[in-house]
Structure 1
Amino acid sequence: MRIHFPSRADFAGALRRTLRPAAFCAGLAALSACSTGFGPAPHESLSPPTTPAQSEPPQGVGTIGSGPVKVALILPLTQGGGQSQIGLSLRNAAELAISESGSADITLLVKDDQSTPEGAKAATQAALAEGAELVLGPLFAGDVRAAAEVARAAGKPVIAYSTDLSTAARNVYLLSFLVENYADRIVEFAASKGKKSVAILAPENDYANVATGALQQAAAKRDMRVALIERYKPGGVAAAAGHIAALGGQIDCLFIPEQAAAMPDVAKALSANGLESRKVQILGTGLWNDSRVLNLPALQGAWFAAPENAGFIAFSQRYHAKFNSDPTRVATLAYDSVSLAAALARTQGPRRYSDEVLTNPTGFSGADGVFRFRPDGSNERGLSVLQINNGSTIVVSPAPRSLSGA
């Protein structure tokens, strides 16, 4: 796995960093076989979940590394007064990145945002006062906005982990997996296979709102007709699926931007209405890369866009070896952003975190594949298309290994 710049005439050479290899299917208890799902690709709601207040001191606050360039890492190490496992996993992934390549390049200033906008603002202010040149994180959308306000006033860029595209802006870059990318990739693939008309079966929630809009835009770019959009509230998926089924041969694919936990109920509604993949091609997002989805009979043969699993498996093995625990799925965001910050500090001199460097159109390569930041703060990722196949997945369209074009 490498974090690098592909060659470019106006870039000072190529940046490459090779990590030690890991066998595709060795050892982790949580990754017991190649055929299992590995949880959804990183996604977060607009605000953190609520937990009872506790009084434990936060773990992980402090510094990591000893390099001359200081970089802030703003994480939800606590939430509701108690420890946050997702925050600790992000922090551990950052430490892994430093130990593998960047200990002499950067010093991470790890701050707890307490999973609140107020905490994110205070944490960012403290890190910038200590000399941070770049802000990594936070995770939740409201916290990203608060941190970005502080960083913008100081003229420092942010690489954040939120999936809420509205938090992106010039010099506020999102490293997360965006539903817009999932929708565009799956429509691109479906169109390449001759699909001409799609219906959308979507719950009434924020994620599905974004996914529905993204699907419509992606379909319009490829002359694919959106025949019907059916939204449903909890308990209403069966009736909505019936309306889709009434279209008959007017559609050749069906897009369902639903969370993995809700898909068993959706699958029952599909089966009851004759909407299995052998009759209409079912399409989904990276949230389906989950064992709760892969075994559902109605979804066998369905396609969804997601990062390929090999990179996350290799990362997980190294994480487990170091911390004797398994990472959360979102942990690769901290790993890749810290690896990138260290590599840029090592190779790019004073311009290391400039807009020109961060928005290099040839992009970078990380644990979950290639990615690049757009000038507006959004990102593009190289995604594969996976097909559900008897409780596992097969790659029907590999993720690109490089990004071309501007």
Structure 2
Amino acid sequence: MSHVPRHWQESLGALGRVAAAALFAATLAACSSAGMLAGAPAGAPAGEAAAPGQFGTGPRIVGVLAFTEPGNLSDGADDSIVRAARLAAGALTGNPVTVLVRTVATAADASTAAGEFAAAEAGIIIGLDDAATALQVAKSLPPGRTPSISLTSFSDLAYQLYGAGFVVNEEAVALVNELARRGHASIAVVSTQGRASQALTKAVLGLAATAGIAARPVDGSTDSQFLAGMSALADAGVAPAAVVFATGPQRAAAMQATLRADPRYASVALVGNAGWSLTSQLPAALKGAWHTALAGASLGDFAERFKAANGTAATLNAAMTYDLIVLAAALPQAIKEEPYHPEILTNPQGFKGFTGPFRFGPNGMLAARRYEIVEVR
């Protein structure tokens, strides 16, 4: 559907902002998965960086402050956010938005890009993974006119700043609770030097200690470092019941292949993370593993759409960016006046996209996400 049907428009026109948002929220899932979307457009080849720029030519301007994600936990392209923005703009039927995308590495980059978006009269700005920079940008925007949604766990509605980031502790709680439920009293947590890997490792180690699970970090930056770390544990008489991989699935599979040759770890359990949900077919070496996943999400559908356009995997932040762009495009079709008003964005019904249900609380922060456990078969 390129537009909200006439009977919806008439119904929405008779409702207040909150009631209209609640009614509209029920339709967003359909818009995200099929209704507003056409076929996936062509994207950049897997080995070729996606250039930021302008995607779509619609009347509503959406600004995206993209960032790169080296060492992400899904083995996705570093520039997945740019690719997701282009995918969303091209997939929306009726060409409702123009998506302006800038890749930013510093606070100065973000300020410059935000100035460009403001000059273009962007209705909403999405992106950034640094809370301080997100607040700086929000303060620089025209007061009361342009909300921004960062991919952080910080919000400040005094400046219409919302936070839609994935909170690592929420996933770590689900992971550690499952480890405890399965009776794993000792674990090894394998990390790389990537930012996301380090954050998840820190959270799991801390929560495991609280749960009475003996947890030891292992450097998985290279196969040799991983083997040395695991051998050192075995030589010291430490026998982890599970190995938690705070890495992408390809890296985990490579390490598991080297570990398989050591009989001391023949029966060790393999544990992954929510980033693995974005790989359509996990490596055979990970069969029997389990990992956390966003409850109620349809990330497999997004992953297929993304890979068809780009030839590579995506990231969780890319999927969230996609959902937020669809939201930014769909709201004005259903709610004509002030479609991004706080009463609408914080409506208690929330919204649903490829990342599952999400709802901004009264303070502008995304309500806690639920995680489930998925077995690799």
Query: Does the TM-score normalized on the shorter chain lie above 0.5?
Result: yes
> What residue is the counterpart of 1:136 in the other structure?
126
> What residue is the counterpart of 1:90 in the other structure?
84
Q: In the alignment, does 2:214 pair up with 1:226? A: yes
Of all paired residues, the percent bearing the same amino acid is: 22
> What residue is the counterpart of 1:3 in the other structure?
none
By how many angstroms is 1:367 displaced? 1.2
Cα 1:256–1:364 change in 2 (3 A) is: same
Alignment partners' CA distance in 2, 1:293 and 1:313: 12
- Structure number with greater CO (CA < 8 Å, separation at least 6) is 2
Residue 54 of structure 2, aligned match among 57, 61, 64: 61
5 Å matches for 1:332-343?
A: 332-343=319-330
Aligned residue type for 1:245: A
Report Cα offsets for 1:70-112 as digits up to 9, x if no partner: 53233479xxxxxx97465223223146427x82xxx445143
**Which structure's residues are more often helix, by fraction?**
2
Alignment partners' CA distance in 2, 1:319 and 1:267: 27
Structure 1 stretches of 5 or more lacking a match? 1-9, 29-38, 40-49, 78-83, 390-406
> What residue is the counterpart of 1:256 in the other structure?
245
Report Cα offsets for 1:139-162 as digits up to 9, x if no partner: xx46x754541222334432234x
Report Cα offsets for 1:38-66 as digits up to 9, x if no partner: x9xxxxxxxxxx98xxxx9x674266423
> What residue is the counterpart of 2:354 in the other structure?
367
Cα 1:275–1:89 change in 2 (3 A) is: farther
By how many angstroms is 1:215 displaced? 1.1
Cα 1:20–1:379 change in 2 (3 A) is: closer
Structure 1 length-normalised TM: 0.63
SS of the residue corresponding to residue 72 of structure 1 reads: strand
Structure 1 contact 288–294 (Cα < 8 Å) conserved: no
Aligned residue type for 2:173: D
> What residue is the counterpart of 2:64 in the other structure?
73
Alignment partners' CA distance in 1, 2:52 and 2:219: 42
Residue 138 of structure 2, aligned match among 135, 151, 154: 151
> What residue is the counterpart of 2:314 in the other structure?
329
Aligned residue type for 2:149: I
> What residue is the counterpart of 1:280 in the other structure?
268
Report Cα offsets for 1:192-229 as digits up to 9, x if no partner: 444454442334543332112211344366x3423433
> What residue is the counterpart of 2:93 in the other structure?
99
Structure 2 contact 63–100 (Cα < 8 Å) conserved: yes
SS of the residue corresponding to residue 256 of structure 1 reads: strand
Structure 1 contact 90–335 (Cα < 8 Å) conserved: yes
By how many angstroms is 1:122 displaced? 1.6
Q: In the alignment, does 2:226 pair up with 1:237? A: yes
SS of the residue corresponding to residue 381 of structure 1 reads: coil
Alignment partners' CA distance in 2, 1:11 and 1:71: 22
By how many angstroms is 1:337 displaced? 0.3
Report Cα offsets for 1:347-390 as digits up to 9, x if no partner: 5676643556445565421113223446475664344322222x
Structure 2 stretches of 5 or more lacking a match? 1-16, 41-45, 69-77
Cα 1:286–1:245 change in 2 (3 A) is: farther
Aligned residues: 327
SS of the residue corresponding to residue 99 of structure 1 reads: coil
> What residue is the counterpart of 1:188 in the other structure?
177
Alignment partners' CA distance in 2, 1:228 and 1:20: 41
